């Protein structure tokens, strides 16, 4: 039996007048399913239906802009500071999940202040349930692209990413950790946990508990998996902890703080009318 998996997946679904990649499809599926999850939550709590489209727009823009600028600033500022126009060349790749997280936080702040006019924690506690699922699907998109994989391994589930130039340059003939799958499984498990916490345990009645759990789950997984993942930029080679790990630490600390805050305060009472505020019975 082979002790590795040859990964020869075509990342392009079709290439005609437009090019559709599996990564883009995973992103789209994630947002569509996430939208339906938030729709169900908003209806359950009697929020306004018209907020859904606004929140989706805020989050999509925040994710895209934040992820791109995160890569530019955290990983390749030396290059892009000299070639600023290429910041717009998103089709060439280059997104950072930590930047995307910051972008989402800013987007949620904007939505909460100007649209919902509610505390930002109210929005975050509900949004992260869907975001955990989206994060897992995006990592599956990375797998389809044969990118963001790990170090060489002799484990039987190691992947040979034969469509990856990076793999040929660094690991020709060696299987590598499919770290995209590791992260995706962690995020899918977190999604299941948050769904149980919301629908079975009413965790939303303790503001900050869902958001804190999300931060700890996502960024602890990211921090640990980074130990076996390839560096995204050359400057990380001399670092004890790489950039992704340093950026994860503040999020983990924030998550712990939110959970402590949530558990120290009494639960709030929430009515569940199971209809949108702007709809008739």
Query: What CA–CA distance (Å, rounded) separates 271 from 171?
Result: 56
Q: Write out the DSSP string of 177-203.
A: --HHHHHHHHHHHHHHHHHHHHHTT-G
Q: Compute the distance between CA of residue 223 and CA of residue 244 in angstroms, rounded to an integer.
A: 7
What does the DSSP 8-state code read for residue 212? Answer: H
Q: What is the pLDDT of residues 18-68, one digit of tens each?
A: 888 998 899 899 999 999 999 999 999 999 999 999 999 999 899 889 989
| Per-position DSSP letters for 63-127, written without gaps between them | HHHHHHHHHHHHT-HHHHTT-GGGGG-GGG----HHHHHHHHHHHHHHHIIIII-S-HHHHHHHH
Q: 261-274: b or e for each residue (b if 16 or more CB lie within 10 Å)?
A: ebeeeeeeeeeeee
The predicted-structure confidence for 95-150, as pLDDT tens digits, reads as follows 787 888 899 999 999 999 999 999 999 999 999 999 999 999 999 999 999 999 99
Check: CB of residue 150 under 8 Å from CB of residue 228.
Answer: yes
pTM: 0.91
Q: Where are the domains of the chain?
A: 5-11+19-264
């Amino acid at each position: 039996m082979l002790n590795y998996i040859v990964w020869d997946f075509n990342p392009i679904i079709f290439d005609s007048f437009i090019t559709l990649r599996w990564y883009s499809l995973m992103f789209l599926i994630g947002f569509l399913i996430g939208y339906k999850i938030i729709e169900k939550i908003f209806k359950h709590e009697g929020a306004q239906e018209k907020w859904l489209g606004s929140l989706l727009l805020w989050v999509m823009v925040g994710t895209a802009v934040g992820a791109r600028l995160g890569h530019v600033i955290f990983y390749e500022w030396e290059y892009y500071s000299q070639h600023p126009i290429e910041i717009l060349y998103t089709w060439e790749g280059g997104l950072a999940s930590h930047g995307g997280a910051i972008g989402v936080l800013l987007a949620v702040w904007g939505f909460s202040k100007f649209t919902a006019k509610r505390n930002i924690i109210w929005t975050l506690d509900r949004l992260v349930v869907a975001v955990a699922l989206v994060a897992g699907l995006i990592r599956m998109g990375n797998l389809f692209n044969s990118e963001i994989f790990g170090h060489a391994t002799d484990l039987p589930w190691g992947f040979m990413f034969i469509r990856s130039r990076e793999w040929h340059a660094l690991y020709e003939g060696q299987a590598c950790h499919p770290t995209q799958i590791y992260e995706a499984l962690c995020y899918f498990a977190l999604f299941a946990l948050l769904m149980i916490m919301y629908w079975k345990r009413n965790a939303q009645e303790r503001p900050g508990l869902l958001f804190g759990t999300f931060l700890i789950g996502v960024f602890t997984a990211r921090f640990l998996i980074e130990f076996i993942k390839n560096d995204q930029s050359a400057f990380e080679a001399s670092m004890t902890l790489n950039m992704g790990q340093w950026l994860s630490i503040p999020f983990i600390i924030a998550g712990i703080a939110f959970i402590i805050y949530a558990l120290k305060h009494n639960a709030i009472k929430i009515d569940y009318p199971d209809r949108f505020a702007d709809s008739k019975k």
